[in-house]
Amino acid sequence: MADEASMTEIVPATQFDTQSGRRAAIEVRGVEHFFGNGDARKQVLFNNNLIVRPGEIVIMTGQSGSGKTTLLTLIGTLRRVQTGELFVLGQGVHQSSVAQINQLRRRLGFIFQAHNLFSSLTALQNVRMALELQPQRRSRSEENRRCQEMLEAVGLGERVHYKPRGLSGGQKQRVAVARGLVHQPEILLADEPTAALDEESGRKVVTLFQQQARERGTAIVIVTHDNRILDVADRIVKMDFGTIARDTRVSEASNIGEMLSRCSIFDGVTIRTMTQLADRMKAQPYKAGSRIIRQGDPGDTFYLIRDGEMEVRRDPGNRLVATIGPGDFFGETALLTGEPRNAHVDAKTDGVVYTLDAQSFREAMGERASLDQEVRSTLFAN
């Protein structure tokens, strides 16, 4: 039986990717960026790594100046990659020619915060610009029909022949959204697409994004400060001082929180602490037949089963004591008592466990003890 035989690299639990075998729509590897030259040269991005898969909606947040828009424009090929590697739809843009990049851009959709509409063109004509850049053109009537449908979808069916000067800021933004989506791009990059929109219009826009992602597999990256649209995110990426400080897969974070809340060992621990624990946990896949912990070893890790079945065995004789599965936990006894592990745990099937380091576990137990003491003191006082 192989000891500590994992299937893949250990990753933060909230970043665990169940579709890691699928191709990436966007892959950022060690990307850095600088503005200016000589003494005025300033680094604005530091060693960023990011993977976005087809059909994912990634919301990128962070304070102003954290590098969100710079990274977005690099992904969109609007800036040249200076340091690192960047793959967009399988093409290494860090090593592509201008002609290759121009071809790639036709497969992308852009929504700019500043709208970038042509003042001399109507809303419909501005939207049609995206279709006119495509290699496979349709008839003018078909293109106009498609543009009309997109403008109706964003609530501008009555404004298709208006020029930008006759539109409000929010209406211009919706024209930009329609233009970014009309050619059904494989990747959509949006910079503050709902900032100028009221709640109803903003909801229409993000619903369109969801449809594109779910029905067409469009990978969508949104830079935003608008917390009204966080519910559409599959991932939330936070940038801080030019670096991706946090990359959270929302469904995985919710799954961890729900599983922790069902663990009796954490009764009395606050939701805030549960969230912090989820951030500190790692995801460790194991192959069937691998030994996860060994009886007699010191205990330094808490384990929570995400997937698969595990067997608890004890010496002498390596006898089977129990079979445990998703939602069950182990490793807590040695952490609570300071004694060595009292059993082996083996992976019966391929599976994944969430792990928590000893310090974080003990901090949570300390909070539980403090809460218990506070309750007892309150009851005594009353």
Domains annotated on the chain, with CATH:
19-249 (3.40.50.300), 262-381 (2.60.120.10)
Residue 114: what pLDDT? Answer: 84
Residue 266, both tokens: 């954490």
- Token output for 71: 């990274």
Please tell me which residue, 381 or 302, carries the higher pLDDT value: 302
Asked whether the predicted pLDDT for residue 250 surpasses 80, the reply is: yes
In the sheet with 310-314, reading across from the earlier edge strand, the strands are 291-293, 344-347, 310-314, 319-324
pLDDT of residue 268: 82
Give strand pairing partners of 304.
329, 354
pLDDT at 382 over 70: no
Per-residue pLDDT at 3: 45
> In this structure, what are the phi and psi dihedrals at residue 210, rounded to the nearest 5 degrees?
-60, -40
Q: How far apart are CA 25 and CA 91, in angstroms?
A: 10
Distance CA 103, CA 96 (A): 11
Would you call 276 exposed, middle or buried from its count of C-beta atoms within 10 A (0-12, 13-18, 19+)? middle
**pLDDT score of 7:** 46
Reference 242, options 371, 353, 94, 84; nearest CA is: 84
* Spatial contact of 175 and 123, defined as CB atoms under 8 Å apart: yes
Question: How would residue 379 be classed by pLDDT, with cut points 50, 70 and 90?
Answer: low
Lowest-pLDDT range, 18-22, 27-31, 114-118, 245-249? 18-22
Give the residue-averaged pLDDT of 97-109: 94
- Per-residue confidence (pLDDT) for residue 374, from 0 to 100: 47
The dihedral sign for the CA sequence 93, 96, 102, 104: negative
Once rounded to an integer, what is the mean pLDDT over residues 86-105? 95
Q: Is the pLDDT of residue 377 over 60?
A: no
As a whole number, mean pLDDT of residues 158-170 equals 94
Give me the pLDDT at residue 373, please: 55
Which residues on adjacent β-strands are paired with residue 48?
31
User: Which of these ranges, 49-53, 270-274, 283-287, 296-300, has the smallest mean pLDDT?
Assistant: 270-274
For residue 135, what pLDDT is reported? 84
Q: What is the mean pLDDT of residues 195-224?
A: 94
User: Residue 52 is inside which H or E element, if any?
Assistant: strand 42-52
> pLDDT (tens digit, 9 = 90+) per residue, 281-292?
999 999 999 999
Q: What is the pLDDT of residues 279-320, one digit of tens each?
A: 999 999 999 999 999 999 999 999 999 999 999 999 999 999
pLDDT, position 348: 97
Helix (H/G/I), strand (E/B), else coil: 202: helix
Would the pLDDT of 30 be above 90? Answer: yes
Which pLDDT does position 381 carry in this prediction?
Answer: 56
Q: What is the DSSP string of 133-189?
A: TSSS---HHHHHHHHHHHHHHTT-TT-TT--GGGS-HHHHHHHHHHHHHTT--SEEE
Residue 335: pLDDT over 90: yes
Q: Is 6 a residue whose pLDDT tops 90?
A: no
Residues 6+ apart with CB under 8 A from 332: 265, 302, 361
pLDDT score at 375: 47
Model pLDDT, residue 259: 93
CB count within 10 Å of CB 39 equals: 6
Model confidence at 269, in pLDDT bands (50, 70, 90)?
A: confident
- Mean pLDDT along residues 8-13: 81
Max distance between CA atoms of the chain, in angstroms, equals 85
Q: Give the pLDDT band (50/70/90) at residue 26.
A: very high
Instruction: State the average pLDDT for the chain.
Output: 91
Token code pair at residue 51: 């993977």
Residues 6+ apart with CB under 8 A from 270: 367, 371
281 vs 257: CA distance, rounded Å: 11
Q: Are strands 219-223 and 187-191 parallel, antiparallel or unpaired?
A: parallel
Q: What is the pLDDT of residues 110-149, one digit of tens each?
A: 998 888 899 999 999 999 999 998 888 888 899 999 999 9
Tokens of 102: 């121009």
Contact 178, 209 (CB under 8 A): no
pTM score: 0.86
**Residue 14 in this model has a pLDDT that exceeds 60:** yes
